Every structure is written in C-alpha cells, then in structure tokens.
Structure 1
C-alpha cells in the first residue's frame, strides 16, 4: 500500500525540530532556575555556579564540533536519535549529584550530548527547505530555545514545590524519549520520504540541481579547508562574541531577579515568562524580516547583513537597564533586547545555509556553535568575578549593570567584523570542500 502524500510535509519536520530544541533548552535551563534552592542547600558561591556553567559550556563546545563532523557522516535521523537519547539520560543523572563536582560531571555529560541538536537541526533545514524559506525556518527552529525556557518556568516551580529538586531532573529528562518515538516514525531525507509529494520535493529544491543521490552520499569535508574561508570566520565571529550573552541571560537572569527584586523561584515568575515569550517573536520576526528583504529583490547576503546591523543598533537599548527604577521597567528593557538577540541569532545561523552547500552545513554549524560555546565557557569566569567582587563591596546590582553595558556594545563590534569578512564572499561550492571520493 502506498503511503498517503501529505501537503507541506516540511512544516511537520520543522515542528519536530522546534520541539527538540524546546526539550533541549528545558533540560539545560533547569539548573539556573534551581540555583537559589541549590546554592542554599549546598552553600554555592557565585564562582561555584560559574564553574558549573563553564563545565557545561566547555563540554558543549567539544560536543558541537564533534557532532557536526559526526552528523555530516551518518545523517540527521540517526544523529538526532543518539543525541536526544543520551542527553535525556544525562539530564536525569543530575538527580544523584550531591557536590559541586558531582553536578559538574553531570553538566559535562549534558553538554557533550545536547550539542548534537544544533548541527542536526540546521542540516535538516538545509535538506528540507528552499533558500527563500530558510531564514523563517531557522527563526522558528531557534524559537524552541525560548519555548524551552518558558516551559521550564512553568513546570520547574510546580515540580519543585510538590516533589523536590531531584524529581525535577528525572521528570523533565524523560520527555526526550517521547520525542524520539515520533522522530523515528516521521523522519527521512526528502528523496527517500514516502509521504512527500513530487510537487513539494521540486519546491524544496527550487533553484538547485536535483540530485537525489547527493542527499544520500556520504562525503568527506576538508575540515582544515573550512578555516580558510572568510565565510566560516564570519559565522565564528557571530557565535563566539554573542552566544555568551544569551547564555549569561539564560543562566543568571533568574538569579538577577531573585537577588535584585526578591523574586521567589519556587513560584511561577510572570516577569521571566514575559521576557522569554518575547524572544519567540524575535526569533520568528528576525527570520521573516531578512526573508522579506530577499523577496523584495535584495541580494541574500546584503539582506542578512542589513538585518544584523539594524539589530545591533537596537541592542544598545540594554544599556538603559542600569537606570531602571523598578522590576517592570527592567522586564520591558530585557524583553526587547533579548527578542532582538534572537532575531540576530536567527540571521547569523542562516548565513551558514546561505553560504555553504548542505553537505557541509552541519560541520560549519558545529564549528561556529563550538566557538560560541567556548565564549560561553570563558564569559562566566568574568561574570562570576564581577558579581562576587561587587557583592563583596555591597553593590551586586552594580555588577549586573556593568555586564549589561558589555552585552549591549558587543553586537556592533561583531557586525563590523562580519561585514569586513564577507565583503567579497560568495557561496562556497561543494567541490572546494571535498576530499577525494576514493578515500
């Protein structure tokens, strides 16, 4: 019996990518939400918590570059299966930790395994979406980061108040196994998918050379060669300078509101809910905006960089947070700036699928995202040092204000570097990257 063809099947695939990213960020956000509880139970300092963040991000960096290489060789379906299964197990193992070292080991395991989501997701988008829809698809994919945080804000306080912090890790970690069952049943590459119509297959490959065998071919990418292209370094710049900022807000924002405005993380936080909900609009809106420019006839790269420049200017708004006089003013400022960050992030990610063939997307994504994780590993050391120093001086709020200034100015610096690196850039051809097929 032939399988029934489903119209617009690519959006079902995208829904799976969004849900995977939601689960991914749910699992990693839990420690930040439990920080006020765990720092009392285990007497953590800000530097102790910075060590835990560094442990996760260091492992995440190693994992990203490894998963990018791995997924380009085995494919997105098995790659996602292995990644989601292992990160779900590692998330649950947090429940048995009792010391900073124990939590550190659990965070290392989670970082190594969760890092498969980004390269697998971006490679899937390159496989399933035409060029003109990739920014929007990336924006929706990226919105899962915010959905995961929002979901964590809803369910973590509830589980914590009823069952305790151990069960928070166990219950949330088990969700990934449900996703796996759906992924195994639903996913395959377009050329092999029995539910994909010929019309949609042609639409996905619009403007591309139709070669079904190329989707199945295992290729060897010259990794050293990737670092010779300015396009690679433009993506690395966008990630290494800006990813640490989002990680800072993800891990320290609950603590900021708890210490500055006495927010009780045992209860649902409308302040954080509003902030992270707005980031969803930023993810989708950022992808839509640059895609809209392209549809109006703008060259693809010019549209992406124009969008990035506008977002970098808008990010300067975060500098005004130091002058806010109450929590809701800060909520308004951070809602806007974090939404703009996600708009920026969406367009930086889309640069990869714009400038590289899909056989190399996972590898380049892994390299760039690894660079972002390295920045995310080092930045917490500065954060911990600044906050502990200001706390010792009795002015913790001043420490956060300094960090807001650093965050706001970094976007313009990153844009200038990206612009200089891509002034004469073109799409990298597959032939420029391949090693000998006989190897």
Structure 2
C-alpha cells in the first residue's frame, strides 16, 4: 500500500477499526509528522502574534487569533487527505499561538508584579479545563457521530468565545467597573511605561529573553508529548495491568488534568506567598521551579510499572509540576520586561518552545516504535532540572530590563492601548 493511500485510510478510520502492528507503527510516524506541522505553524505564529499583539493591543490581537483558530477547526471537519489535514493543522497552530502571549500580557496589564505568578497559575489552569471537557465529551462525539464532528463542535464554540472576549475585555484604564483605588493598586509597581517598539533582534540581545526562551524550549515539548502520546501509552502499553481505549480513558485523564490544574494554581500561589514573606523574585521563582523540577523526576517509573494506578499517579504528579513550572516561567516575561513588550517576549519564548516540540514530535513516533516509551519518559525526567541549571547560569539574578535600556536599543513609536 502506498503512503498516500495509507494516509487516506487513516482518515476514514472508525472507532471500531482494527490495525495490524505494522499499520499501527506507520500511523505513529505519520501522526508525529502531522503533529510537527502543527507545531511548526505554532512556532511561527508565536513570533508573529506576540509582535502583533504589542502593536494592535491585547483585545484585537487575541480576537484575531480566536477567529483564525475557529476557522481552522471547522476546516478540519472537511479534510479529505493528509495534505489538507496538514494545512488545517497549520492554520490551527497559527491561531492558537495567540493564546499565551495574550494571556500573559493580560495578566501584566491587570496585576502588579507580586501577584502575577498566582494569576498566571489560574489562567494556566484554565487551559486544562478545556482538556478536561475534551476528555469527557469528545469520545462520545466520536463514537456517536465520527471524529469530524469533534472539530466542528469545538470550532463553533470558538466563535462563541470570540463574541464573549470582544464584549468582555477592556484594559484597566478603560474598564467601567474599575474604581480609581483599584487602578492605583494594579499600577502600584510604579513601572515606568512608554510607547516603545523594539524589534525581535533587539530583544534577543538580552540575557533575560534567553533565560525565558531556554525554559520554554526544554519544558514545553514535554507537555506536548503528554498531550499527544498519553492516550496511545495507556492504550498500547502491554506492561500495564489495564488498558484504556476511547470508551474508558475519560476518568483517568480527568484525574490527570484536575491534578495538573491544582499544580498550576498551587505553585503559582507558592511563589507569590514566598515573595509576600520577603523573598526576592529570584529566590521565590527559582525555588518553586526547583521543587517542580524534582517532582517530575520519578515519571520514568511510569514506563516500567505494571500498575495503571501507579502510572496515572506518577503522570499526574509530573503534569502538575509542569503546570507549576509553566506558571512561574510566564512570570519571567512580565517580571523582566515592561508591559509594552511582554507579548513579544512571550512570543519569542513560545516560538522556542514550539521548535522544541517540533523536534520531539519528529523523533517521538520513531523512538516509541523502536524502543517503547521509557526513553521518552527519561527525557521528561531530566528536562526541567537541566533547564533550571542553564537558566541560572544564564541569569543568576532576575534583573528586569528597564525602559531606559529599551530606549537606548529600540525604535520609539506609538503603541496601541487597546
């Protein structure tokens, strides 16, 4: 069977389809390639969208991202071959890239620095709510109406989110519900602001940007690995005493992502609490990230245990720690740079994270097919500790880039206040 015919048959699969081992191995490789196409667009999208949001504002920038994402999701419903599927995933990646630059910039606009890690933990936990709903609802959609229905429904929900966001969001200075005292509290950092337009190349000249980018490059691919490959791990791992399929994986994934949410909120709160007790941002952030990194180390046992319960527990601990790491990493952008360029810095870091995801996606299917899941979980075990060591070497202290420094290196122009 030719590769193109095989790919078409994969698109026509039903939940009851049975594949040979050879077909399953080929599918894993094709799946990794399609996933890499999504992440390639996601990487480019991060860079472009972060820059765009700092120019046209959070409200309009995120609205554009939601619109593109929703269109791409609906487009996926009608794909007929692997080429059209790749293009649909490319547009999905471009639109989805707006999420985190917009979210981090929103937190920077609405919270003083000392509260941003907790706020980032909350919004980061919110991303898992969608995953939880997906784990509970999408299998039923697929079983009843086929896999295409899941993309149609989520795409239509995206248009609903677009309407909600457009009429709900305002900058603090324009919010009719905000009092003068509340606005003064949000701006209590006395952060010097100016309408500054700095290029990507200039931002890459700062070690603060590289510290953020390294943390994203080494940790983000692990989260993508969890999202992309855990269903197959639970379904195909012969060592486990139980296997999960489309009809049964909802509850274990609900557990994993609820615990992940708890980790995002807890570790975001912990960093904020430590700073409230007088710890420096450098000590509080890095101590919290060290705890997160240590919590991930035991995950390689998940590929060796025969107990489904133990595997779920280890993965839940690791995903909770990842989300706590991510919540604190996102504060790097808003801690280390003025609000004017937070989305651009987040976009650069997100691009590096997506590039790491591309590399791991291209390798994951081949590694899993040849050696099983143990090498992938060993990579996850080491990634965070190694990332933290490199971050500390690059940036021993979390020293913010001042507006004066940006003024010396940047080109000044009027930025949007939307």
State how 1:87-106 maps to structure 2 within 5 Å.
87-106=69-88
Tell me whether 1:340 sits opposite 2:313 in the alignment.
Answer: no
Report if aligned partners of 1:158, 1:267 keep a CA contact under 8 Å in 2: no
Match for residue 240 of structure 1?
A: 217
Tell me whether 1:403 sits opposite 2:363 in the alignment.
Answer: no
1:39 and 1:291 map into 2 onto residues whose CA distance is 50
Aligned residues: CA RMSD: 2.1
2:294 and 2:66 map into 1 onto residues whose CA distance is 37
2:343 and 2:13 map into 1 onto residues whose CA distance is 33
Using the TM superposition, give the Cα deviation of residue 425 of structure 1 relative to its aligned residue in structure 2, in angstroms.
4.4
Cα deviation, 1:41-100, whole Å, max 9, x if unaligned, reads 997621100011100000000000000100000000111111101101101111111222
Using the TM superposition, give the Cα deviation of residue 319 of structure 1 relative to its aligned residue in structure 2, in angstroms.
2.3
Structure 1 pair 242–38 and aligned structure 2 pair: CA distance change class (3 A): farther
1:364 and 1:210 map into 2 onto residues whose CA distance is 18
Match for residue 420 of structure 1?
A: 393
Report if aligned partners of 2:15, 2:143 keep a CA contact under 8 Å in 1: no
Structure 1 pair 38–404 and aligned structure 2 pair: CA distance change class (3 A): farther
TM-score by length of 1: 0.85
Match for residue 272 of structure 2?
A: 291
Match for residue 205 of structure 1?
A: 187
TM-score by length of 2: 0.90
Using the TM superposition, give the Cα deviation of residue 39 of structure 1 relative to its aligned residue in structure 2, in angstroms.
8.4
Match for residue 347 of structure 2?
A: 366
Match for residue 412 of structure 2?
A: 437
Structure 1 pair 173–298 and aligned structure 2 pair: CA distance change class (3 A): same
Report if aligned partners of 1:357, 1:430 keep a CA contact under 8 Å in 2: yes
Report if aligned partners of 1:316, 1:408 keep a CA contact under 8 Å in 2: yes
> Which residue of 187, 190, 194 corresponds with 2:176?
194
Match for residue 148 of structure 2?
A: 166
Match for residue 320 of structure 1?
A: 301
**Which SS does the other structure have where 1:45 is aligned?**
helix
Match for residue 136 of structure 1?
A: 118
Using the TM superposition, give the Cα deviation of residue 229 of structure 1 relative to its aligned residue in structure 2, in angstroms.
1.2
Using the TM superposition, give the Cα deviation of residue 38 of structure 1 relative to its aligned residue in structure 2, in angstroms.
10
Report if aligned partners of 2:122, 2:264 keep a CA contact under 8 Å in 1: yes
Cα deviation, 1:93-123, whole Å, max 9, x if unaligned, reads 1111122222111111100111011111111
Question: Could you list the runs of 5+ residues in structure 2 that have no partner in the other structure?
Answer: 1-11
**Which SS does the other structure have where 1:207 is aligned?**
coil
State the number of aligned residues: 393
Tell me whether 1:277 sits opposite 2:254 in the alignment.
Answer: no
Question: Could you list the runs of 5+ residues in structure 1 that have no partner in the other structure?
Answer: 1-33, 391-398
Structure 1 pair 52–36 and aligned structure 2 pair: CA distance change class (3 A): farther
Using the TM superposition, give the Cα deviation of residue 186 of structure 1 relative to its aligned residue in structure 2, in angstroms.
1.7
